[in-house]
Amino acid sequence: MGVEEELLLVDPLTRVLSPRGPEVVSEAAGELGERVGTELTRYQLEVRADPHTCLKEAAEQVRSTRVAAARAAARLGVRLASTGTPVLGQTSPVPITPGARYARSAAHFRALDDEQTACACHIHVGLPDPRDAVHVSNHLRPWLPPLIAFSANSPFREGQDTGYASWRTTTWGRWPVAGPPPYFESPAHFDDLVETLIDAEALIDRGGLYWDIRPSHHLPTIEVRVADAALTPDDTLTLAAVVRALTATALQCIRAGEPAPRPAPEVLRAACWRAARNGLAGTGIDPLTGHLITQTTLVEKLLHTIAPALRQHDDLDHTREQWQRLRTEGTGADRQRAAYRQRSSTHDVVDYLISATCPH
């Protein structure tokens, strides 16, 4: 499994976004090399962990990579904040990072890029046969709502509480190829659909497939892109363990000839919306039945389903411990709001994000 984390840069005095992303990447590259890179806007950067089979080894690199990027940012007078949407200081149009692909995207998608400052956590899981990727995607689709619910970490935008636990999920759906992926009848169906979308200019290239799950266009992996940027390294690692176990469970079902559940696209979309709104609080929608059910019950159904795969990878105890922590402390969104409630201050939220992104 590999991890990609998109992070925001903020000014520690004003707490607003800082457009020094390319400079911080250049500063950090001396230590991190290709494990740090630019993103669409100058407010962002991306850090990456190498592929690992052991969660403990992945944990060490996720933490050390964040720390190295944070040191580089501090040398330039800015700080890292891991959140799905900025708390303060987004302007429109946003400053786009120089580069031919970014410029092409801005020209093609117009105001979508003008307002686009969103950060996600992407988990790649290696597949023994890349041809299995579309079938794995089919099996993972019904689990998107609980993944959104427990990874929600974007309640604020431009100084306001949006009322959503994951506002990034909601805004990301504006892209022409985003949200839950369709059910694919075969790898050929996937390829034909992607070519149709490129021909129709809904995509500028295969890298612009913004579905929540996608077969990687350049790696032998399935990539799960549904989660907000995770508040802490522990949150990132919990997501990685769950996504790997989900993928392993899906592969076992595929080998056994078990068909993937096929929730109605409309119900799945509604379930994802409700998970983005509520996080772990209140009720969600079971996409297989359409019935209301508590969000925590949905997550517990997920964890029960993947428990054998978690055990196989020696991740079961870790995941159970982290799930209890989430039940007690809340999602990243809950913890951001708790920071706000102390003094009704969005500055306090930003300060909390800075400290939680690279905890000592």
Rg (CA), the chain: 19
Residue 34 corresponds to which amino acid? E
CB 283: neighbour CB atoms within 10 A? 15
- The DSSP bridge partners found for residue 79 are 10
Q: At what angle do helices 133-140 and 233-255 cross, to 10 degrees?
A: 110
Listed residue (89, 340, 343, 341) closest to 353, CA to CA: 340
**Residues sharing a CB contact under 8 Å with residue 75, sequence separation 6 or more, in sequence order:** 27
Question: Which residue ranges make up each domain of the chain?
Answer: 2-343
- For the chain, the straight-line distance linking the first and the last C-alpha, in angstroms and rounded, comes to 25
CB 25: neighbour CB atoms within 10 A? 22
- At residue 116, the pLDDT reads 81
- Dihedrals φ, ψ of 61, to 5°? -75, -40
Could you list the pLDDT tens digit for every one of the 360 residues in the chain?
A: 999 999 999 999 999 999 999 999 999 999 999 999 999 999 999 999 999 999 999 999 999 999 999 999 999 999 999 999 999 987 778 899 999 988 898 889 888 888 789 999 999 999 999 889 999 999 999 999 999 999 999 999 999 999 999 999 999 999 999 999 999 999 999 999 999 999 999 999 888 899 999 998 888 999 999 999 999 999 999 999 999 999 999 999 999 999 999 999 999 999 999 999 999 999 999 999 999 999 999 999 999 999 999 999 999 999 999 999 999 999 999 999 999 999 999 999 999 999 999 987
**CA dist., res. 186 & res. 131, Å (int):** 9
Name the helix (H) or strand (E) containing 329.
helix 316-329
pTM of the model: 0.97
Beta carbons of 283 and 271 less than 8 angstroms apart: no
**CATH classification code of 2-343:** 3.30.590.20
**CA dist., res. 202 & res. 220, Å (int):** 24
